[in-house]
Structure 1
Amino acid sequence: MKKILINFVKKNTLRIATIKKNNIYDFKIENNEFITQTLNIYQGIIIKIEYSLEAIFVNYEKKKIGLLPFKEISKYYFFKKKINFNKNNIKYIFNNKQKIVVQIIKSEYKNKKAVLTTFIQLIGCYIILLPNSGNAIKISKKIQGIDRINLKKNITKLYIPKNMSLIIRTSGKKKSIQQLNQDIIFNVNKWEKIKKKIQYSLYPILIYQENNIMIRIFRDYLNYHVNEIIIDNINIFNLSYIYIILLNKLYLLNKIILYTWKIPLFQYYNVEKQIYILLKRKILLPSGGLIIIDFTESVTAIDVNSYKCLKTSSIEETALYTNLESVNEIVRQIRLRNIGGLIIIDFINMKIINNIKIVQKRIKQLILRDAARVKIGNISQFGILELSRQKLNLSSFKNQQYVCSQCQKYTMKKL
């Protein structure tokens, strides 16, 4: 069973850790200085249509410009003006200084502009509502077997609003039709409020802000498998009751506990030490093996080393043993650090093909359980495995890290 620890550090800063068998399973820092823009909805203004990039530049907020790729423009805009859906016809749909409603699908980062879309998504507890997207129901690919069959049988009983589609999330696989319909109605009402705000708002302006970290925690992470929610601040404790009732997750009410001991919450559960280890470039494995994680602008490189592993009788056995042990820690580190983009893993070379297949199978089993979308290849003849992972939000650690001017190493900002 899992425990959620919510630690109030100072004004406007929260640390949320999920622990499983006394080991940190997930970790997030919410700070008002680093509020993510992903899934926020804006009423923007078109600045320029750039055919060479197949994109439109949109001023979505004061002094902020995002990139709207042609492929992210809904057919709804073409049908509205009775024009064929074609990128060459975009000039007949849009022009400079025209207002447009967009949603951020990828936040701006350093010199990279935010990526926008007109395919609006409203995330619920069990469904994702897609306004202006026809009438269709899709089921998450992660729902398989009997659960998928049962959902398909009862799919006609779901309330589908006109000109709206929806996706049943993984969290909705064992939910009743009544629970799913309640979530649909809740998000439809939310969309109606957004439409009214769009109608009467100036532009560029923020129309809808994706829920704060507390709402996201209760919406996405808390389920029947969570044993306790431990909070060390009375105000956050009281707010939690409001959020749980708002999200209709009443079964969680008896699981909230107010932590009042003098020993700090994260220190009591040994989370502080584990967070410190997560910042390290080199991570020791129990057998004596070593993982080294390096970040560049475009790639994250992870190197696996046998280092002091002396538990086996041959080089091939050492390679297999260390690689298998490293897989568990690599998958955990990728999730905890929220590493996105291209990731290259350099395993210790193995000569026996069957051993290579064992390591491949193990990492695919673990990485595909991730909430983020992952594409993974096979281990090459050089022992290299490539995978691409969706970045769900800006990494909690990158938000709080800085480079020490003395040793040039990453250090956590003091909270």
Structure 2
Amino acid sequence: MNNEILINVTPQETRVAIIQRGVVQELHIEREAHRGLVGNIYNGVVKRILPGMQSAFIDIGMEKAAFLHVADIFSDDRDNLNQMPIEHLLHEGQALLVQVVKDPIGTKGARLSTQISVAGRLLVYLPFENHIGISQKIGNEEEREHLKERLTRLKGENCQQGFIVRTLAETASDSDFESDIEYLRRVWGDVKIRAETCKAPSPVYQDLDLSVRVLRDFLSEESEQVLVDSRETFQKMEAFAKTFIPKFANRVNVYTSERPLFERYGIEEEIEKALSRRVNLKSGGYLIIDQTEALTTVDVNTGGFVGDKNFEETIFKNNLEASQAIARQLRLRNLGGIILIDFIDMDNETHQQSILEELEKSITLDRTRMTINGFTQLGLVEMTRKRTRESLAHVLCETCPTCSGRGEIKTTATICYQILRELVRESRQYNPKSLRVIASKKVVDFFHDEESQSIAMAEEFIGKTILLQAETIYGQQDYDIVLG
């Protein structure tokens, strides 16, 4: 297993594992009931303009209104547009063609742009821009210029639309480009017709579903095979591959073994690991990854790694291994936004620079735009990763009902002392004949063992009988006091 794409399909969801250099690098999950919106185009209606935030809420037919910032309103006269407030550009009730650039995340609605684009395999079509752009992942300046010249020639002198050359296009032939251009123009023609005939708010273009999108975005010369465990999905993928990437069509295969695909390749285990806070390193060190609404933090620890006799070299080697693991984990977990990394302290500036270089090198596999800002004054590495979709944890998990997402619950002792205080208060307020405490078995056992004397003292103090009742369905923090 070196470079493969594995696709598991059920009626409820599609899961994709991207394997590069023998390691799972990305996981994608799309559920039928909650498909992602990124790339979709809508006829929207301006519902509310917020001059103070220079933004507007747009109705695109979803339960939650989407968000459009003035910076995401596109015009050919960009310089003049930058000086105009949003209330001079839009008005409430206005119909507007918009595209989702960021899925709804948490309590926030989808983020929109009026800079419309349609992605193909090799190119991204820009119907409202006469511009040729080249993927930042293509670093060779000579190659970038060559690709730009080819696209300018192939799109035609009279063409007023633009294109962005994707990373996969680096080795594409002219005929490959021409096929992609023809396909994208055909798609845009359909979008225009729907945009002109559909009443707002309504969808006018939906991006490809995950199984086909993966072929468009990931299948390349380096891909050894694509395995999918659904014959119906395989037929759809095979048809797409034969039409748009015929030279790779024979690499798409159906998986027929009785043993589940993700189990056979160890993907289920990788998914569970990707949901854990702790990531073990081969050397014995480990990472602790915490995701909050504002940012993601990564703490690097040596753990059992003792390394060489030279302490500085030991720290450096641990941090070097950690930087490689961090780059993979950010991609695997789809963590975006602000990221702060707390490497083990290094006084050697050469070592610090080497860590940053290793981090830069390790993120080159990631298609998502990332920026490394270097070490802060506090010795933390600050970086950003563009966030367009929910993280893996947010897709698969929900807030813990016991701790409400804090990651901690009150100790047994804390709950017991809280109950004792409440017993005194309830007794004084209602003067019952007896009081029954219903709590978890752990709390009741704690009262019977460590705090049996406290219960006796409480009974004597309030002059009432206190009964203890254990309930297996109660969590550690759950309890009730029943007055008799």
| TM-score, length-scaled by structure 2 | 0.78
> Which residue of structure 2 lines up, in the alignment, with residue 218 of structure 1?
215
Tell me which of the two structures has the higher relative contact order, counting C-alpha pairs closer than 8 angstroms and 6 or more residues apart: 1
> Which residue of structure 2 lines up, in the alignment, with residue 20 of structure 1?
20
8 Å CA contact 2:337, 2:386 repeated in 1: yes
Q: C-alpha distance in 2, partners of 1:410/1:27?
A: 26
> Which residue of structure 2 lines up, in the alignment, with residue 336 of structure 1?
332
> Which residue of structure 2 lines up, in the alignment, with residue 293 of structure 1?
289
> Which residue of structure 2 lines up, in the alignment, with residue 242 of structure 1?
239
Larger CA deviation: 347-356 vs 177-186: 177-186
> Which residue of structure 1 lines up, in the alignment, with residue 4 of structure 2?
3
Larger CA deviation: 186-195 vs 151-160: 151-160
> Which residue of structure 2 lines up, in the alignment, with residue 138 of structure 1?
133
Give the number of equivalent residue pairs. Answer: 404
Q: C-alpha distance in 1, partners of 2:117/2:298?
A: 34
Q: Judging changes above 3 Å, is the alpha-carbon distance between structure 1 residues 57 and 403 closer, same or farther for their aligned structure 2 residues? A: closer
1:316 and 2:277 equivalent? no
8 Å CA contact 2:54, 2:86 repeated in 1: no
> Which residue of structure 2 lines up, in the alignment, with residue 169 of structure 1?
166
8 Å CA contact 2:70, 2:85 repeated in 1: no
Q: C-alpha distance in 2, partners of 1:47/1:233?
A: 42
Q: Deviations over 1:140-171 (max 9, x none)?
A: 22213243243244343221563311111111
8 Å CA contact 2:58, 2:68 repeated in 1: yes
> Which residue of structure 2 lines up, in the alignment, with residue 374 of structure 1?
370
Q: C-alpha distance in 2, partners of 1:230/1:356?
A: 41
How much does 1:410 deviate? 11
8 Å CA contact 2:12, 2:32 repeated in 1: yes
Q: C-alpha distance in 2, partners of 1:268/1:91?
A: 57
Larger CA deviation: 313-322 vs 151-160: 151-160
Q: Judging changes above 3 Å, is the alpha-carbon distance between structure 1 residues 232 and 48 closer, same or farther for their aligned structure 2 residues? A: closer
Q: C-alpha distance in 2, partners of 1:47/1:409?
A: 33
> Which residue of structure 2 lines up, in the alignment, with residue 182 of structure 1?
179
8 Å CA contact 2:42, 2:98 repeated in 1: yes
Q: Deviations over 1:212-266 (max 9, x none)?
A: 10121010001111111112222222222122134x1112222122222222212
Q: Tell me, what secondary structure is at the counterpart of 2:221?
A: coil
Letter in 2 for 1:52: G
1:351 and 2:352 equivalent? no
Q: CA RMSD in A?
A: 2.4
Q: C-alpha distance in 2, partners of 1:184/1:194?
A: 15
> Which residue of structure 2 lines up, in the alignment, with residue 35 of structure 1?
35
Q: Tell me, what secondary structure is at the counterpart of 1:226?
A: coil
How much does 1:89 deviate? 7.1
Q: C-alpha distance in 2, partners of 1:62/1:20?
A: 37
Q: Deviations over 1:158-213 (max 9, x none)?
A: 21563311111111111112211221121111111111111111111111111110
1:34-53 equivalences under 5 Å are 34-53=34-53
Structure 1 residue ranges without an equivalent (≥5): none
| TM-score, length-scaled by structure 1 | 0.91
Q: Deviations over 1:360-387 (max 9, x none)?
A: 1111111244211111111235431000
Q: Tell me, what secondary structure is at the counterpart of 1:42?
A: strand
Structure 2 residue ranges without an equivalent (≥5): 408-484
Q: Judging changes above 3 Å, is the alpha-carbon distance between structure 1 residues 12 and 349 closer, same or farther for their aligned structure 2 residues? A: same
Q: Judging changes above 3 Å, is the alpha-carbon distance between structure 1 residues 294 and 66 closer, same or farther for their aligned structure 2 residues? A: same
